[in-house]
Amino acid sequence: MFRKSTLLLGRVVLKTQAGLVAGVIIGGTTFVAGSDLREFGQPLQDPQMPNVIAQIESCGKPVVAALHGAALGDGMELTLACDARIALAARCWACPKSPWAWFPARAASSASRAIQTICSGERITADKALALRLVDEVVASDLQTHAMALVQKLAGRKCRIREESVAPEDVAAIEKTEQTTLRAGKRRPAVLADIQAVKRAARSPMDEGLARERVVFQQLRVSAEAYALRHQFFAEREAAKLPEALQAAPAR
């Protein structure tokens, strides 16, 4: 049986209690829809995501991510830090968008696939995520119960993605995907950085790749393009709102 303290609702807090068996990170209407874009141009505040991920990975107990909704940006990072992932079939499972100058520390099932998915910001269904081994299970309902069952299957074992190996891939296939992606992405700085990060992940120790990725992320998030894209994003949202005069109740 699990104690109530093993269920972490919408927060990444691992209490070091003697009776703690495992942790489940689960959202409400969604999982984690990414960072607050309004904070991107400001100094970063602790706890920063790399530290949160490190805490989950170093926790002595397994942690399962239960995806009830989209996992964007930080949300995707968070799921991949966990020891297993389970998703609700009716909900979207999404990857981060390159234009926000953010890319995941852990790639997809292959370098080519990672480049394609990350740089395009492609949104994928839960079933497709399962086929790509980005989640371990997909369920139709009762996500919390199934997540607790998945924790039980782990039987206390940690299953860190950083300890898994990625199958070798033909260099020509990677180069072909790279060129196609560069054309589609108009060679924007974030797209170039995404590609380099994925390629570096295939040949460098993980901690080295993470450190370099963080440096590039810090540079990109305060770039002129990042500011412009964030301005465009919020401007489009405002433009879609009706003027106050048109929101009045109609006269009878």
- How many degrees, rounded to 5, is the angle at CA 160 between CA 28 and CA 82? 5
Task: Give the per-residue pLDDT at 95.
Answer: 63
Task: Give the per-residue pLDDT at 5.
Answer: 32
Predicted TM-score (pTM) of the model is: 0.77
Measured CA to CA, the distance from residue 133 to residue 136 in angstroms comes to: 6
Residue 117 carries which side chain, given as an amino acid letter? T
Q: Which domains does the chain have, with CATH numbers?
A: 1-161+169-239 (3.90.226.10)
Residue 192 token pair: 């170039």
SS3 85: strand
Helices (H), 82-132: 111-120, 126-131
Task: Give the per-residue pLDDT at 242.
Answer: 76
Q: Please state the φ and ψ torsions of residue 171, each to the nearest 5 degrees.
A: -60, -40
Task: Give the per-residue pLDDT at 18.
Answer: 57
Per-residue pLDDT of the chain (252 residues; tens, 9 = 90+): 233 333 343 333 444 445 677 899 998 778 887 767 677 777 777 788 888 888 999 988 999 999 988 888 778 888 889 999 999 987 766 665 544 333 443 445 678 888 888 888 777 888 888 888 888 999 999 999 999 999 989 989 999 988 877 777 888 999 999 999 999 988 888 889 889 888 887 778 888 888 888 888 888 888 888 889 888 888 988 888 877 777 777 676
Answer whether 137's CB lies under 8 Å from 149's CB.
Answer: no
Measured CA to CA, the distance from residue 225 to residue 231 in angstroms comes to: 10
